[in-house]
Amino acid sequence: MRSYEGKLVATGMRVAICVARFNAFITERLLEGAVDTLRRHGADEAQIHVYRCSGTFELPPVVKRVAMSGRYDAVIALGAVIRGGTPHFEYVAGECAKGIGQVSMQADCAVAFGVLTTDNVEQAIERAGTKAGNKGAEAALAAIEQVSLFRAIGQEE
């Protein structure tokens, strides 16, 4: 049997992080978690580039352009959609997930989804570096693993 899996080593990886400013008090914590994880797994900070857009709805076209630029091994999308009293939440969260899913299937680089969708602010805080971890850090780990796995797939004889 032969099995393949990615290593959690980010040495030499060029990573773009696309982050929405809407709910910035949450998304900046996700960004910190992602950058910290990349650094602790060996990424060079100069090779981590951050792109900011206004809201989570705007993330997919930014992620698409960044992913298609050919300059990165991985793109990490970070946002926080928090349910309010209107259906706006569903549209923003749904369009973002759909758009980033499409990019991930088209791009040659790894694409990681670190967009929170929560019912309230408390749940978002829990997932941005408190009791439920940091989803930005988790997305960064997934990106590192995926880049490594893609390399392994590319090296198959």
Return the active site residues.
Answer: 88
| Of positions 88, 94, 101, 108, contacts ligand INI by CB under 6 A | 88
Q: Does the footprint of ligand INI cover residue 89 (CB under 6 A)?
A: yes
Q: How many residues are given for the chain?
A: 157
Radius of gyration of the chain (CA): 15
Mark residue 84 as left, alpha or beta (left: phi above 0; alpha: psi -120 to 50; beta: remaining): beta
Map tokens 């792109």 to a residue: 51
Tokens of 43: 């990424």
Closer to ligand INI by Cβ: residue 6 or 60:
60
Nearest to 99 by CA among 1, 13, 46, 20: 20
Stretch that binds ligand INI, among 11-19, 33-41, 50-58, 137-145 (CB under 6 A): 50-58
Closer Cβ to ligand INI, 51 or 89, answer by number: 89
Segment near ligand INI (CB under 6 A); pick from 1-9, 68-76, 82-90, 148-156: 82-90
Please tell me whether residue 58 binds ligand INI under the rule CB under 6 A.
yes
